[in-house]
Structures are given as structure tokens and as C-alpha cells.
Chains A and B, each alone.
Chain A
């Protein structure tokens, strides 16, 4: 089975801190995604990557950056955390542009205080 692992289940950070959310997949998937999920808004795409060192902005990239130095790892970076970034963050991966079924991690619930 494909496994997508997010480094933390729960995280509490202070305003202004630099925050790293890590995601690792173990099935050699080309595509990786970062979403945030807020009540009533569903999942919103922050960034995605279709290859190592390749990234594209999603619908809400402001305040975030990403890094994909290795195929299996996709990191989401909050450069200076703010309270409006308190949310559930979900990482996902899919095999290729032909096989687009996404596999999700369990999510990281981030609270910025």
C-alpha cells in the first residue's frame, strides 16, 4: 500500500515563527500536493509539484513556499507564521499525469498562537 507520512499530527507555533511541514511518500510518485482544509471551505490547493525541484502555485500560495529536493519528500514552509494560517494541512501524492488517484497523509493540525 502507498504510504504518505506527515511529520506531525499536531503542531503549535508562535506568530512570526518559520514553520516546516514535512511529507514523505514511499511509492515513487511523481506528483505531490499540499492543501489546507478549513470548515466550510473544503480543501484548497496551496502548491503542487510534478517532479523533483519543479513546483507550481495552487490557489492560495501567499505566505507559503515549498521545497522538493528529493522525489519522495515535499516540504511546506510558512515563512512567518500568522494566526490566519491556523488550519489542517493535508499532503497528497499521485503516481503520474496518467494515474492521478491521490493518496493522502493523515494531516497536520497546525495552531498558530
Chain B
């Protein structure tokens, strides 16, 4: 079963606009992570937020976590064409740090 469900499935914006992606998950987590995948390639880690944190920033990325609603959001500010990719959330659970991914959001940033 998928840990996370991302919303929307696809998002198209213009360069300079902000992009917001949401993730809902099912079980308790140790932390929640966001990854990016360029077409046909492996995933790259973007940011991690622990279960006792509510918000985290990294450059143009802002992540929030609401454990009561089992949801997270990723905001990319001032988007660029190079941000075009698929974005996945992943919940880390258990002592073995099992990582379970959602279905992803495809982001298209046009010039």
C-alpha cells in the first residue's frame, strides 16, 4: 500500500510562479521526505522534516508537516524551467527506516 498520496497529480505553471504540492499519508511516521525525479532517472533527495517539526526551509523550498492531519506540503517559490520534474513524498517508519513513497506530482514549468 502507498504511504503517501500526492495532490495534484499534475501541475503546470509559468516560470516565476510558486508551486504547491500536497501529500497525505496513512500511518505514523518518524519523518517525511520529499524527492525529485527528472524524467527516466533516479530520485534525488530534497528535504526531510521530522515528526516533531512543523515547518522547514531550504533555499526556495518550504515544507510543512501536520501530523494531526497526516499531511505535508511542499512549496517551491519563484519556480524555474529547471524545476520541471516529478516530486514524491516518502514517509519513514519503523526502526529499520522503511521508506514508503507516494504516487508523485508531475510539475511542468514553462517559460
Within 8 Å CB of A96, what residues of B?
Answer: 97
Is A104 touching B44 in the complex (CB atoms < 8 A)?
A: yes
Q: A50-B97, A100-B31 are contacts. A90–B42 as well, Cβ < 8 Å?
A: yes
Q: Please indicate the chain A residues that have their CB under 8 angstroms from the CB of B95 in the complex.
A: 50, 97
A11 to B2, CA, bound (A): 27
**Complex interface: stretch among B53-61, B62-70, B73-81, B99-107:** B99-107
User: What's the interface size class on B, roughly?
Assistant: 20 to 34
Question: In the complex the two chains form, is A41's CB within 8 Å of B103's CB?
Answer: yes
Chain A interface category by residue count: 20 to 34
A90 CB contact (under 8 Å) in B31, B43, B97: B43
A-B contact pairs, 20 of them (CB 8 A): A4-B42, A31-B97, A42-B102, A42-B104, A43-B90, A50-B96, A90-B42, A92-B43, A97-B96, A100-B30, A100-B99, A101-B33, A102-B35, A102-B43, A102-B99, A104-B42, A105-B42, A106-B41, A106-B42, A107-B41
Residues of B within 8 A of A (CB): 1-2, 30-31, 33, 35, 40-45, 48, 88, 90, 92, 95-104
